[in-house]
Amino acid sequence: MFAPLLLGIINRTKALFAGRRGMPLFQLYYDVWKLLRKGAVYSRTTTWIFRAGPIVGLAAVVAAMALVPFGKMPALVAFPGDLILFAYLLGLMRFFTMIAALDTGSSFEGMGASREVQFSALIEPALGVLLDVFVAVFVMGIMIFHISREFDHLDTDQLSTLKE
């Protein structure tokens, strides 16, 4: 809600340091309002996939947000394996973005979809490695807990008699 105002303050400050007057502070709010009043323009070659792409993408992000805890508050939806569902929901959003772009039949949207595939090919392995590291740290924590619990039950008097 305050992001356009912050960007307006930043742009105004940059302009002042450059010796210019700069745009009004609320210019981005005016631009957003103007864009929200415009209607959607659809090509004759698109199908329902093009219209469903943004809706499915937004629904996937909202569902993924329900899986994320906020500060000290728990997540709205929490169950074993919710981290995997989180990754799949973000993948679903990316997939529908790509097929909506390919549905237009234009070469420019095809290039945009290929760029989206390239980004996902770079990011998804990193997410997999991050999940592997998370599991390894979790397993090591369990092992260290069990080892320390075993040493807590060790009778030190018995060890000193063995030493003698």
Domain ranges of the chain: 1-39, 46-155
Is the pLDDT at 31 greater than 70, yes or no? yes
To 5 degrees, how large is the angle CA 56–CA 57–CA 60? 85
Note the pLDDT tens digit of each residue in 134-160. Answer: 889 989 999 998 888 877 776 666 666
Find the mean pLDDT for residues 124-142.
86
Q: Tokens in use for 3?
A: 């992001």
* The model's pTM: 0.64
DSSP letters for 92-144: HHHHHHHHHHHHT--HHHHHHHHHHHHHHHHHHHHHHHHHHHHHHHHHHHHHH
Q: Which residues partner with 70 through β-bridges? A: 73
Res 14: pLDDT: 94
DSSP reduced 3-state for 87: helix
Residue 163 pLDDT: 64
Question: Which range, of 36-50, 75-89, 91-105, 141-155, averages the lowest pLDDT?
Answer: 141-155
* pLDDT attached to residue 24: 92
